[in-house]
Amino acid sequence: MKILFGGDYNPEQWPEEVWKEDYRLFDLAAIDTVTLGVFTWGLTQPAEDVYDFTVLDAVVGRAAAEGRTICLATGTGAHPAWMARAYPEVTRVDFEGRRHAYGTRHHSCPSSPAFRRFSALVAGRIAERYGDVVTAWHVGNEYGGACYCGLCAAGFRDWLRARHGSLDALNDAWYTRFWSHTFGDWDEIEPPSALTEHWRGPDHTAFQGITLDYRRFMSDAMLANFRDEKAAVRAFSDAPVTTNFMGMYQPIDYHRWASDLDFVSWDNYPPDDVSYARMAFTHDLMRGLKGGAPFWLMEQTPSITASRAVNPVKRPGVMRSWSWQAVAHGADAVLFFQMRASRGACEKYHGAVIGHAGRDDTRVFREVAALGAELRDLGGLTVGARTPARVALLFDWDSWWALEMTDGLNRHLRYPEIVLAYHRAVWSAGADLDAVPVTADLGGYDVVLAPALHLLKGDLAARLAEVAARGGTVITTFLSGLVDEHARAYLGDPPLTSLLGVRVDEWDAREPAVVNPVSFADGTAVDARLHFDLITPLTAAVEGTYGADFYAGTAAVTRNEYGGGAAWYVGTVLAQPGVDALVRRALDRHGLAGPYPDVPDLEVAHRVTAGGVPLMFLLNHRDEPVEVVADRDATDLLTGTPVTRGAPLRLAPRDVLILR
């Protein structure tokens, strides 16, 4: 057992003579794992009645013969061209109401009977044929997008019947007396799209209720596709089944999916080349999907991503550093897309371990091979390790959706950015964090963050109050807890009122350029922007006050003693230093900050091995070296260097230490 290393490998694109060279290079780079067959449907089922495993037999057979760990895909990430022609229903109708013809990928209607039948069939055939050599199953690929066709409309109506029971309940949930929208027949309900309830795109809807439900339905419809294939696989193989998630991917509520996956895997394509803090959060979020269990980093690029407008190359050391970061946050596998660069099509310039020239002396290959050696030398110690976090951050797709599709707020507010600011404060302080669903057991956490948790479900209000009641700290912000699961406003005092000890009758919104400075008791002042709650403290103490506008001097940030604990309320978008300061106060109250909270961009993360051994990961994300004082006697697992408590500890630029 060790951390798996390798990635997506598409030898079916190449003549077999190339394969030999590939494996020679894999050996050079200590690559032990290949993900095969992600887009092979057209190859394995070249016509409706023809299955042809000639090529896949060779591909899988060679990988097995070479002794690699095999993650085998069902290959259904793109349907074959013949299927779109024979069954036009398999292609999607987009948000604009247009039926697509054959092309690209991620293009199958999740409600299509043909797609569902054929995808399960091919998945079963593959599982039957290769079950004995496969370590893990990779179903579909990066599920996402949405379809608005008639079949989906019918499926939506069925889903609504099951959810709401009656049209009366649905009309009540969606608040359809507004704008004369009462539905008198299920068949009157159309998917919410540019042709029905929306204008200016998916975030502008006349009724949040229908749009929220459609997103839930669409997430469930694709989950049904996953289940179709998983069931077909399970009939022939007990190997664990996953599909590759995409981190903070808005269209799919991964919390609705997590229990169906045997383990979580995800593709890490950060939006730029400086977002290591963001990535730390995304790893935590993916780890949180299954209660903290380790995950696979299913894809990352060794160098550039091809799909953005501007694609910067990963600087020297960055690929290594980010790979170890994944391990620090719970990865049991470090995999790349892709092993060899395609000759053609839109990903031909996407980074690859082996480039078009096929060389083993490129910078990229050398860095990959060096990492491979490190991973091989480390062995299995971290496999199965857990993160000992006492800080939880509630992440909620429903709140994300609701916040960004609701009129009357500030359209510049983006849920992930708000969440990331609170995560970053914890990350900077060096405290471990679990990003968990609102249904998670909060019993083990000292600090619970619930930024911008607009939509309140179930008994969460009570459970948050319990956190404070037992001495913990809750931190939440503007717009939290204002609407129920149907995005209907709470009437009277909303559920979090007594915990927070404040009332908010109204808010102001301003363009991004407008700054209102918020002053704290310690004399500091930080910029606030975009959204400004006008707060009436009830039982809460005022911690920060606005400095400008007609609400100058009124509360912007409050803290309410509650039971043995406290609840913070932040009524505005504070600049990062403000968020850092108040989160730090909460962490310090519980003694949760790491050893180096004041060293910028020095990441600290902990894991506890299956055998109970605590490990501390230190990652220097800076382009300069950093030196700190060791807080323990330890050994660096990557170099074997002993570390003495109190002695200087030096990390080169982008370097990583794993202290045992």
- Binding-site entries for substrate: 105, 141
Sheet holding 136-138, edge to edge: 241-242, 136-138, 69-73, 33-36, 4-9, 331-336, 295-299, 265-267, 244-245
**To the nearest whole angstrom, how small is the minimum distance from the Cβ of residue 479 to its own copies?**
10
**CA distance from start to end of the chain:** 19
Q: Output 235 or 346, the one with its CB closest to its own copies.
A: 346
In sequence order, what are the beta bridge partners of 537? 502
Q: Output 68 or 486, the one with its CB closest to its own copies.
A: 486
Identified catalytic residue from 89, 142, 374, 543: 142
528 token code pair: 């606030």
**To the nearest whole angstrom, how small is the minimum distance from the Cβ of residue 433 to its own copies?**
31
In sequence order, what are the beta bridge partners of 303? none
142 noted as active-site residue: yes
Cα atoms in the Cβ-side hemisphere of radius 13 Å centred on 190: 10
277 token code pair: 């803090």
Q: Output 408 or 600, the one with its CB closest to its own copies.
A: 408
Q: Output 24 or 85, the one with its CB closest to its own copies.
A: 85
3-state secondary structure of 24: helix
**Bond into 338 cis (ω within 30):** yes
Residues annotated in a binding site: 105, 109, 141, 147, 149, 152
Map tokens 């180096």 to a residue: 596
Q: Output 240 or 270, the one with its CB closest to its own copies.
A: 270
Q: What is the CA radius of gyration of the chain?
A: 26
Burial class (CB in 10 A: 0-12, 13-18, 19+), 364: buried
Map tokens 């001495």 to a residue: 471
Map tokens 């963050």 to a residue: 449
- Give the contacts of 81 (CB within 8 A, at least 6 positions apart): 42, 102
- Give the contacts of 374 (CB within 8 A, at least 6 positions apart): 320, 638
603 noted as active-site residue: no
Count Cβ neighbours within 10 Å for each residue of 518-551 and write b for 16 or more, e otherwise: bbbeeeebbbbbbbbbbbebeebebbbbbbeeeb
Q: Output 46 or 595, the one with its CB closest to its own copies.
A: 46
Identified catalytic residue from 89, 299, 374, 603: 299
Residues that are catalytic? 142, 299
